[in-house]
Amino acid sequence: MSNRTTVTVFLLVGFSDVRELQVLHFVVFLVIYLAALVGNLLIISAVALDCRLHTPMYFFLVNLAILDLGSLSVTIPKSMVNSLLDTRVISYPGCVSQVFLFFVFTTTDFALLTVMAYDRYVAICDPLHYKEVMNRNACVYMATGAWIAGFVYSALHTGNTFRLPFCQSNVINQFFCEIPQLLKLACSDSDSSEVGLFAIGAILILSCFIFIIVSYVQIFRAVLRIPSKQGRHKAFSTCLPHLIVVSLLICTSFFEYLKPTSSSRSGIDLVVSVLYSLVPPMMNPVIYSMRNRELKVALKRLTVRRLVSRT
């Protein structure tokens, strides 16, 4: 392949060429997808139908659930279809769309988690001014800003990647189209693109991470000053799930995107890509519902209401 115009399809390596393992891969991914789909839809339904949950924290949680559904829907269905049909092909436009949408959802996820940290900071460290600071317009602006940042950042990275001519190969050592793997296929010198990707990604992730850490240092200092044990427990129960989600997403994404592409190994890349692209969206509903009493109560009310309506 001499230049980019000759590339009409890419080949996704996937997890195995053995038919039985391909079927197992399809079944496992189907279970993961359905579990994440049901869990995130339950959160969206519970928040939408329960007026007690119409607060900033749950507004951002609904946005997070939508992002989780989007990121999973970009990667998992195509991978399942390829395994079921014993094929590796993804079209060039399909690869571009997958890169763009996955980056939109992932970047917006980072921005939204940062906003959620600020929300918890205001709620715990400055509760008297919480309703004033986190009013409806402010929440909408913050969520909209997170989405816009995701689209802009994704457009820049997608355009920067696919302007390169691909002539090394059309085989992507991943189960979905991913920028670090695509940079390996570029026949021109992609070092500048890799440095740019590293710099922008490092600035984005580290800025969000530092802001979140500073916010939680202040939060934990404020929580420890709460005299009531029940009050401390309630504060921790709303903060710890968010901190777990942030840690998992940032650590795995940092390893995958901010390391030199030349040092990556396909086996490790596959494992890490599963950790950062599938595990957080699947675990978010479990983490938030298990640690959040109000959400658990709302989910129980929703379940009871559905059962009663059927009888």
pLDDT at residue 59, rounded to an integer = 92
Q: What is the helix (H) or strand (E) element at residue 72, kind and residue range?
A: helix 56-85
Percent of the chain clearing pLDDT 90 (strictly above): 13
Q: What's the token pair of residue 182? A: 């695509």
Mean pLDDT confidence for 180-184: 79
For residues 31 and 26, what is the distance between their CA atoms, to the nearest angstrom?
9
Residue 1 has pLDDT above 50, yes or no: no
| pLDDT tens digits, one per residue of 86-131 | 888 888 899 999 999 998 998 898 889 889 889 988 988 888 888 8
CA nearest to 106, candidates 146, 137, 133: 146
pLDDT at residue 300, rounded to an integer = 75
Query: In this structure, how many other beta carbons lie within 10 angstroms of the beta carbon of residue 81?
Result: 12
86 sits in the region (left: phi over 0; alpha: psi -120 to 50; else beta) called left
pLDDT at residue 303, rounded to an integer = 72
The mean pLDDT value of the chain amounts to 79
Mean pLDDT confidence for 285-303: 72
pLDDT at residue 192, rounded to an integer = 63
Tell me the pLDDT band of 3, cut-offs 50, 70 and 90.
Answer: very low
**Contact of 76 with 33, CB cutoff 8 Å:** yes
pLDDT at residue 2, rounded to an integer = 43
Residue 224 burial by Cβ neighbours in a 10 Å radius (0-12, 13-18, 19+)? exposed
Beta strands at 171-172 and 89-91: parallel, antiparallel or unpaired: unpaired
For residues 25 and 191, what is the distance between their CA atoms, to the nearest angstrom?
34
For residues 38 and 28, what is the distance between their CA atoms, to the nearest angstrom?
15
- DSSP structure string for 205-244: HHHHHHHHHHHHHHHHHHHHT-S-HHHHHHHHHHHHHHHH
CA nearest to 112, candidates 56, 190, 159, 157: 56
Domains in the chain, CATH or no CATH each: 4-310 (1.20.1070.10)
Structure-token match 């795995």, residue found: 252
pLDDT at residue 140, rounded to an integer = 94
| pLDDT tens digits, one per residue of 218-254 | 888 887 777 777 767 766 666 776 677 777 777 766 6
